[in-house]
């Protein structure tokens, strides 16, 4: 059921990785949300969703960060996140972390209910389809695990990408298999992570696609970094960049 966007305010939770490593994804998200008819706000008080603490077992640290994020986005009608794993943190982890905090439980649940990952928001809530976007290339898609399994995102990015003229999608063997990123896992257990991403890189190369697309920058950095180290000429971008017509701009690691 498409939302009636008129006047509806979307708060963009940029995520710390997009903020620091690839601002273009943030600008692509703003452009797509505005094209879908929403008023986009980027609250200045936002920082990181707290995954580093949550996944390291530091519940107190994660709770403190969660309260900050909740407060920062409380005025928005929707909260949209260009990352499955950060969106899942807001949607699933925050209510769990604050379940026994009477002052914050309901606020956490309310934020969770208003939060969506960007690509699934565009399809499921906004009913948006890109128009007039062209890119003559072949691409393959990696389903990042949090988005796929915690939020059920699979069809939405493919549906959106199918509307890009000239873009051919190629199947990726093991598209639903983890790329080995796992946040701090990739540096804490780099030998394991490397073996996993090496296998992923082999599958990406075997797909024969020019582009590797996905919806989570962490995974994309991991795969791009491995592909580049191995000299594979696959260009890696966030799907939102393609949908916003930025597919011809420099990909991850390419100089502008």
Partner 1 sequence: MSAMAEPASFRARVAAAVADPRLAEAIARTTGTARRKRAAAVASWADFASARALGRDIKDHVIAHLGHYLALFERNARASGAEVHWARTAQEACDITVRICRAAGARRVTRAKSMLGEEIGLPHALREAGIERIETDLAEHIIQLAGERPSHIVWPALHKTREQVAELFRARHHDAARGADVAALVASARRELRAGFFAAEVGISGANFLIADSGAVCTVTNEGNAELTTTPPRVHIVTAGIEKLVPSTAHAMTLLRLLVRSATGAEVTQYTTFHCGPKRAGDPDGPEAFHIVLVDNGRTRMLAEGLREMLRCLRCGACLNHCVVFRTIGGHAYGGTYPGPMGAVLTPALDGLAANRDLPQACTLNGQCQEVCPVAIPLPKLLRGWRDRSWREGLEPATLRRSLALWRFCVLRPRLYRLAAGGAVRLVRMFARNGWIRRMPFAGGWTRDRDFPAPPARTFLEQYHRSSSARGERR
By C-beta, is 106 or 176 nearer to partner 1? 176
> Considering the rule CB under 8 A, would residue 91 count as an interface residue with partner 1?
no
By C-beta, is 58 or 109 nearer to partner 1? 58
Least distance (Å) between residue 27 CB and partner 1: 7
Which of 18, 98, 209, 239 forms a contact with partner 1 (CB under 8 A)? 18
Which of 39, 105, 202, 228 forms a contact with partner 1 (CB under 8 A)? 228
Chain positions 189 to 218 lying near partner 1, rule: CB under 8 A, are 189-198
Report in angstroms the alpha-carbon separations of 199 from 14, 178, 192, 203.
30, 10, 11, 6
What does 85-146 look like in DSSP terms, one character per residue? HHHHIIIIIHHHHTTT-TTTHHHHHHHHHHEEEHHHIIIIIS-----S-EEEEEEEE---HI
Task: Please state the φ and ψ torsions of residue 163, each to the nearest 5 degrees.
Answer: -85, 0
By C-beta, is 4 or 45 nearer to partner 1? 45
By C-beta, is 79 or 164 nearer to partner 1? 79
Residue span binding partner 1 (CB under 8 A) among the ranges 111-119, 125-133, 205-213, 245-253: 245-253
Helices (H), ranges, 15-92? 16-21, 23-35, 51-56, 59-73, 84-88
Residue 56: count of CB within 10 angstroms of its CB: 13
> Considering the rule CB under 8 A, would residue 84 count as an interface residue with partner 1?
no
If binding means CB under 8 A, how many residues of this protein chain bind partner 1?
A: 71
Least distance (Å) between residue 161 CB and partner 1: 22
Which of 6, 7, 233, 255 forms a contact with partner 1 (CB under 8 A)? 255
Which of 3, 185, 202, 232 forms a contact with partner 1 (CB under 8 A)? 185
C-alpha closest to that of 211 among 197, 195, 226, 224: 224
By C-beta, is 12 or 164 nearer to partner 1? 12
The H or E element spanning position 221 is: helix 217-229
Beta-strand ranges (E) seen in 163-222 are 165-170, 211-214
């Amino acid at each position: 059921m498409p939302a009636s966007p008129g006047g509806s305010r979307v708060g963009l939770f940029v995520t710390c990785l997009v903020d620091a490593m690839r601002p273009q994804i943030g600008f692509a998200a703003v452009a797509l949300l505005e094209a879908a008819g929403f008023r986009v706000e980027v609250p200045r008080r936002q920082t990181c969703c707290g995954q580093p603490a949550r996944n390291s077992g530091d519940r107190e640290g994660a709770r403190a960060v969660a309260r900050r994020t909740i407060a920062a986005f409380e005025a928005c009608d929707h909260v949209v996140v260009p990352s499955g794993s950060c969106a899942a943190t807001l949607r699933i982890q925050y209510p769990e972390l604050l379940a026994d905090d009477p002052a914050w439980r309901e606020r956490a649940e309310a934020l969770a209910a208003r939060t969506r990952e960007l690509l699934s928001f565009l399809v499921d809530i906004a009913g948006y389809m890109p128009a007039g976007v062209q890119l003559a290339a072949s691409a393959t898609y990696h389903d990042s695990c949090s988005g796929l399994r915690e939020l059920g995102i699979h069809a939405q990015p493919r549906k959106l990408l199918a509307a890009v003229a000239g873009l051919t999608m190629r199947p990726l063997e093991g598209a639903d298999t983890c790329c080995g990123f796992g946040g701090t896992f990739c540096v804490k257990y780099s030998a394991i992570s490397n073996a996993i991403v090496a296998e992923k890189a082999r599958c990406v190369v075997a797909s024969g696609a020019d582009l590797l697309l996905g919806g989570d920058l962490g995974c994309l950095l991991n795969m791009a970094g491995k592909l580049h180290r191995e000299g594979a000429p696959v260009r890696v971008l966030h799907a939102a960049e393609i949908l916003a017509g930025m597919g011809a701009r420099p990909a991850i690691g390419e100089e502008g």
